[in-house]
Amino acid sequence: MVEKQRKDAFESGMVWHGRRKGVVEFVDRTHFSAVNQNKDHLHTCLRNPRAYATKTGEMTNWMNNAFESKMKVPFYGKHPHEMNR
């Protein structure tokens, strides 16, 4: 049966990856890790790889600035070099 499907797919010229059409194809396309096939989305990702990346929040920036400038870290009241003690 599989050989017949491969032969038919080869003769028709369509690309076939050993998967059934129908429900399985729908699941493959709507899976959360499936590649977005929208051409506008792909062009945007090529132009700006971080277009859909999550933005760094205000509190994260505050903590990073405290560590980089070696000031007291918010909510801990310690300097960065004292954090692991």
**Could you tell me if 17 and 9 are in contact, meaning their C-beta atoms sit under 8 angstroms apart?**
no
User: For residue 61, what are the domain limits?
Assistant: 57-85
Together in a domain, 37 and 9: yes
Q: How large is the average pLDDT for residues 47-76?
A: 85
pTM (two decimals): 0.39
Together in a domain, 42 and 64: no
Is 35 domain-assigned? Answer: yes
CA distance 4 to 22: 19
pLDDT of residue 78: 82
Together in a domain, 10 and 43: yes
**Tally of domains within the chain:** 2
Together in a domain, 43 and 61: no
CA distance 21 to 26: 8
pLDDT tens per residue across span 17-35: 655 566 667 777 788 888 8
Is 80 domain-assigned? Answer: yes
Task: Report the percentage of the chain scoring pLDDT > 70.
Answer: 74
- Please state, rounded to an integer, the average pLDDT across all residues of the chain: 79
